[in-house]
Chain A
Amino acid sequence: MNVLMPQLGETVAEGKVAIWYKKEGDIVAKNEILVDVETDKAAVEIPSPVEGVIGSILVSEGETVDVGTILAVINNQDADSGSSEQLANVEKKNSTPELTQNNFIAETLKSQKIINSPESGQSGRRLKLSPVVRRLLTEHQIDVNEVLGSGKDGRITRSDVMAFLDNRLTKPSVKPVLQPLGDSNRVPFDRIRRVTAEHMVRSKVTSPHVFQAVEADFSSVDAARSFHQERWRSDNGYSLTYLPFIARATCLALRDFPRLNGSVDGEALILHKGIHLSIAVDLNFKGLVAPVIFDADGLTVMGLARRIHEISMGAREGKLSADELSGGTYTLSNNGSFGTLLTGAIINQPQVGILSIDAIKKRPVVIEDSTGDSIAIRPVGILSQSFDHRAVDGSYSAAFLHKIRTLLEEKDWSAEL
Chain B
Amino acid sequence: MTKKKKDSSKPGKTQIPGSLKGEPEINTETRLRLYRTMYECRVLEQRAYDLFMQNLVKGTSHLALGQEAIASGFGTAMRPDDYTFCTYRGHNHTYVRGVSMVSILGELMGRECGLLRGKGGSMHLTSVKHGAMGSYAIIGAHLPVAAGAAWSAQYRRTKQVSVCFFGDGTTNIGAFHEALNFAVIWKLPVIFVCENNLYMEYTAIKDVTAVENPAADRASAYGLEAIVIDGNDVDVVYEAANTAFSKAREGGGPTLIEAKTYRHGGHSRADPGKYRPDEELQAWLNKDPIPMYRERLIGLGIEETQLKKVESETDEAIDVATEQARNSPSPSTDIAFIDVWADGGASWRN
Q: Are chains A and B touching in the complex at the 8 Å CB cutoff?
A: no
| Interface, chain B (partner A; CB < 8 A) | none
| Interface, chain A (partner B; CB < 8 A) | none
